[in-house]
A and B are shown apart, each in its own frame.
Chain A
Amino acid sequence: MGSFRVPPKAVPSPHVRLALRQETVKDKYEDIPTIPLQRISRKSAMSLAEETPLRAVQLEALTVMKTIKHCATRHPATATGFLVGMDNNGLLEITNCFPFPVVDLPPEAQYEQQHQHFNSAAAAPRAKANTAYQAEMIRMQKEVGVDANNVGWYTSANLGNFVNSNFIENQYFYQKEVNERTVALVHDVSRSSQGALSMRAFRLSPQFIASYKESKFTTEALQKSGLKYSDIIIELPIRLHNAHNVTTFLNQVPRLLSDGTMRPPTSVSSIESDPAITSDDLSPNFDKLTLNIDPFLQQTCDNLLDSIETHHVESNNFSYYARALGREQTKIQQWQAKRKAENAARAISKQAPLPEDEWQKLFKLPTEPSRLESMLNSRQVEQYARQVDGFVAGTSGKMFAVRGNLIPGETGVSAE
């Protein structure tokens, strides 16, 4: 089951692409001043930082556990919080995390919001009140020795549905206002409960930040910058790190079963109700071997349907705009032709010609809708597709294994 890629046809000509590349490289190194000795200004510090780009993220055990707990308690609502840590020469070490306060709106308040979905938790990272909360918390934690640098924020997700405008705006806010070297940590609650822990770290790509700054997501701007939906966010690899005392603690946890020999049991029920077995919370978890695919598939299909609907809405908007534009254009052309004819007539009767560019004041071209939503939507769909691929790989393996076992006489798996 391989994934297939349709080569994109809308590729600008080679000359244009070369010009683009030169431009971006020039932009990157343009504002690095010569670094005078003994004086570290913010600008030169930033330029130093640009030279060792962030390549990986290291998470402390504490951050992992706290994030899991916060996201799990708020499931299925979104949970957000901020991260503190240290930037260590290209490796971002995240040592602690704290949740943002959330005001639980009463259900009636939801109907009062006229504009789009107001999700207080999802918008929390960039809310002004929370910036103050964050600063206060960091200041207090500094007194007891916790790292005092804000290095990002985290959010919970459900089967990968985090690529939306809230996510982008939050990360943009962090990368612009707080500190360029920040990441967004996404913990996927549903996938973690089915199998392995799902934690991913993302940043916005530099091309996307440049486009977002100008907020121009029209077709021409996109063609010029060559920004594709897959370029919006970049993922960083994560490593987990345990402090020494945490390692000691983890080693001593499953003590009960590995210590010495147990006496032979006297009855079947004593085996089943032996407290050493029933209360061993950290025995290996075999939920991953289950063949239950329905919840995952159902949820994924629902999510895909939502994305397709959004896609349709966006493309309808765009076609509507295209049609309106076409209509305006024809009207303008008709008016221009009429004006030309009038001027020709006036030239014959020796009158002053009327201005030909008055059409700019008379006709208003419709504004092109922003393509940002549809780009995010496409990225989201790509996310779902990759998830499903991963899931299918595991499930097909399990399916063939079970089948090989149940059908008598079949020992090998036929290559299909």
Chain B
Amino acid sequence: MVEIDSSLHLARPLGPASVGLQANTTPLTVQIQPQALFSILDHSSRRPPDQHRVIGTLLGTRSDADDSSITIHSSFAVGHTETTDQVEVDMEYQKAMLQLHMRANPKEVLVGWYATSSELNTFSALIQNHYSSQGEGTYPFPAVHLTVESKPGKDVEVRAYISSAVGVTPERAADSAAFVPVPYSINYSEADRSGVESLEGAKEAESRTTGIMTDIESLEKSLEDTLGMLDRVSKYVEGVIEEEEEPSTALGQFLLNTLALAPKVDPSDIEKDFNNHIQDVLTVSYLANMTCYGAVDDGWRRGWQPARRRQEAE
């Protein structure tokens, strides 16, 4: 996981609540799905050269019962311009894109916004208040603000915040907000993992490209990984035996437990099981190939011959 700043679980700040609505103060966690993050990284690399940071909208779902957890599923970019004294966000665009997006993913709702720079200034507060407002904002739920900073040469920094109103003066209320950091985690599902594994193959290459691995190649990679792990473990054990490494009974016990998992079965049983198993596999392979090259090809040939005979007869 990426380096996560340690955070303190504070009671969620009370936003403006209408009468009768129970404000929720349980701590909030944010879960980010990797494709949302990749989307944000892509947007930050495509930003126009004169813009220091770009923003966009976050879409996702909230957990039902007590909305203590927000999952961010996807994101899209929103055009905005920033000068020293004012900021303009294209809200029409945002509304239109939200509509288009909801048509394809009806279950995702607006949950917040992101920016591609870690700094928090009055513009951030302004935009944050806008996103938390009633009407098109996330009211009565808090809007999540995600900052994803990717400076060349440094690590990608991801931070998540929610905000509360800070009472300064009534005139400055619109562009003041206290950003409270919330813990986040990036969850990879099973399907995502195979994608990320393939992408990782391109980590080392100079051109950052790689082909897609076939089944055999991925099997080879798994075996190499396993052999690597076994190497490291045997080196450690040798080190412990020669008293170069600090021994640990817990590790020794754990290794013993793992090795004991190898089954002790009668060799003839193994032969029988093995033969059955491999027979199944080979039978299906044989049938599939036979269907393909035997029956199907044959059918084509037989299909053509009657037509030819008739043509010759005419």
Interface residues in chain A, defined as those with a beta carbon under 8 Å from any beta carbon in chain B: 1, 3-6, 8-10, 58, 60-62, 64-66, 68-69, 71-72, 81, 95-96, 98-102, 133, 136-137, 140, 143-146, 189, 192-193, 195-199, 219-220, 222-223, 229, 237-253, 255-256, 264-268, 270-272, 279-282, 284-286, 288-289, 291, 293, 297, 300-301, 304, 307-308, 311, 315, 318, 322, 325, 329, 371, 374, 377-378, 381-382, 384-385, 388-399, 402-403, 406-408
Q: Give the complex CA separation of A223 and B311 in angstroms.
A: 13
* CB-CB under 8 A for A252 and B38, given A240-B210, A264-B251: no
Q: Give the complex CA separation of A62 and B152 in angstroms.
A: 19
* CB-CB under 8 A for A388 and B288, given A266-B250, A406-B263: yes
- 24 A–B pairs (Cβ distance < 8 Å), ordered by A: A8-B301, A10-B300, A10-B301, A69-B191, A69-B192, A100-B104, A145-B77, A197-B194, A197-B213, A199-B212, A240-B198, A241-B207, A243-B42, A245-B44, A281-B187, A282-B188, A282-B193, A282-B200, A284-B222, A293-B280, A301-B284, A397-B219, A399-B281, A407-B267
Contact A4 B293 (CB under 8 A): yes
Segment among B10-18, B29-37, B63-71, B117-125 that sits at the interface with chain A:
B29-37
* CB-CB under 8 A for A220 and B307, given A240-B210, A255-B1, A271-B251: yes
Besides A65-B196, A140-B96, 8 other A-B contacts (C-beta < 8 A): A137-B100, A144-B77, A242-B208, A282-B193, A284-B225, A297-B280, A304-B287, A378-B296
Contact B79 A144 (CB under 8 A): yes
Contact A65 B38 (CB under 8 A): yes
**Which residue of B has the minimal Cβ distance to A249?**
B156
Residues of chain B within 8 A (CB-CB) of A189 are 191
B91 CB-CB contact with A under 8 Å: no
**Which residue of B has the minimal Cβ distance to A402?**
B274
Residues of chain A within 8 A (CB-CB) of B197 are 196-197, 282, 285
**Which residue of A has the minimal Cβ distance to B154?**
A248
Q: Interface SS of chain B: helix, strand, loop or mixed?
A: helix
Residues of chain A within 8 A (CB-CB) of B216 are 390, 393-394
**Which residue of B has the minimal Cβ distance to A399?**
B278
Residues of chain B within 8 A (CB-CB) of A371 are 303
* CB-CB under 8 A for A285 and B46, given A196-B215, A240-B201: no
Q: Give the complex CA separation of A157 and B52 in angstroms.
A: 41
Chain B residues numbered 253-309 whose CB sits less than 8 Å from any CB in chain A: 253-254, 257, 262-263, 265, 267, 270-271, 274, 277-278, 280-282, 284-285, 287-289, 291-301, 303-308
Contact A388 B284 (CB under 8 A): yes
Contact B150 A281 (CB under 8 A): no
Interface residues in chain B, defined as those with a beta carbon under 8 Å from any beta carbon in chain A: 1-3, 33-35, 37-39, 41-48, 54, 56, 73-74, 76-79, 93, 96-97, 100, 103-105, 150, 152, 154-156, 186-203, 207-219, 222-223, 225-226, 246, 248, 250-251, 253-254, 257, 262-263, 265, 267, 270-271, 274, 277-278, 280-282, 284-285, 287-289, 291-301, 303-308, 310
* CB-CB under 8 A for A136 and B100, given A240-B201, A288-B219, A403-B274: yes
Residues of chain A within 8 A (CB-CB) of B289 are 3-4, 385, 388-389
Q: Give the complex CA separation of A196 and B298 in angstroms.
A: 34
Residues of chain A within 8 A (CB-CB) of B74 are 66, 69
* CB-CB under 8 A for A318 and B303, given A240-B201, A245-B41, A288-B218: yes
- Pick from A5, A102, A137, A250: contact of B199, CB under 8 Å: A250
Q: Give the complex CA separation of A301 and B285 in angstroms.
A: 10
Contact B285 A252 (CB under 8 A): no
Residues of chain B within 8 A (CB-CB) of A393 are 215-216
* CB-CB under 8 A for A249 and B211, given A3-B289, A397-B219, A403-B274: no
Rounded to whole Å, the gap between the CB of B91 and the closest CB of chain A is 13
- Pick from B3, B47, B196, B294: contact of A255, CB under 8 Å: B3
Residues of chain B within 8 A (CB-CB) of A322 are 306
**Which residue of A has the minimal Cβ distance to B298?**
A6
- Pick from A69, A264, A281: contact of B248, CB under 8 Å: A264
Residues of chain B within 8 A (CB-CB) of A311 are 295-296, 299
**Which residue of B has the minimal Cβ distance to A259?**
B3
- Top 4 A-B pairs ranked by shortest CB distance? A196-B218, A101-B103, A72-B191, A245-B150
Contact A289 B284 (CB under 8 A): no
**Which residue of A has the minimal Cβ distance to B192?**
A68
Contact B156 A394 (CB under 8 A): no
Contact B35 A62 (CB under 8 A): yes
Contact A98 B104 (CB under 8 A): yes
Contact B43 A300 (CB under 8 A): no
Contact B193 A253 (CB under 8 A): no
Residues of chain A within 8 A (CB-CB) of B294 are 6
Q: Give the complex CA separation of A239 and B3 in angstroms.
A: 30
* CB-CB under 8 A for A62 and B39, given A197-B194, A240-B209, A388-B285: yes
